[in-house]
Amino acid sequence: MSPIVEIDFLAALEDLEDKIRLATARLTALRAENLRLAGRIAELELDAAVAQPATMGTADEDGGAWREERREIKRRVESLARHLEEMLEDGAADE
């Protein structure tokens, strides 16, 4: 005869709901932080664009290099953001 295993489904459901609430709160906080950082990047880019004529050569000389550097920085930041999102998704899947 097999032993009877009792499962407290309500307790398990409450535990799952708690984990979902925590994950949702964490994702909300991370999205807010992401928006704040995106705003800060935009501010810095604007500051750099305004400062560029005074600190760099002519637009014809440095414009292409500046745009390329900006593209590279953007690509790297976006890559890091994707990596963090993947880590969050992997962490949520583990819980």
List the domain range (segments joined by +) for residue 26. Answer: 10-94
Residue 3 domain-assigned (yes or no): no
Residue 32 domain-assigned (yes or no): yes
d(CA 60, CA 67): 11
Per the structure, the count of domains in the chain is 1
Residue 74 domain-assigned (yes or no): yes
Residue 5 domain-assigned (yes or no): no
> Across residues 36-50, what is the average pLDDT?
85
> Across residues 28-40, what is the average pLDDT?
90
pTM of the model: 0.45
What pLDDT was estimated at residue 29? 92
What pLDDT was estimated at residue 52? 67
Say if residue 11's pLDDT is above 70.
yes
Residue 1 domain-assigned (yes or no): no
The mean of the pLDDT values for the chain is 81
pLDDT in tens, 58-89: 555 566 888 888 888 888 888 888 888 888 87
Residue 65 domain-assigned (yes or no): yes
Residue 2 domain-assigned (yes or no): no
Name the band, by pLDDT with cuts 50, 70 and 90, for residue 24: very high
Name the band, by pLDDT with cuts 50, 70 and 90, for residue 90: confident
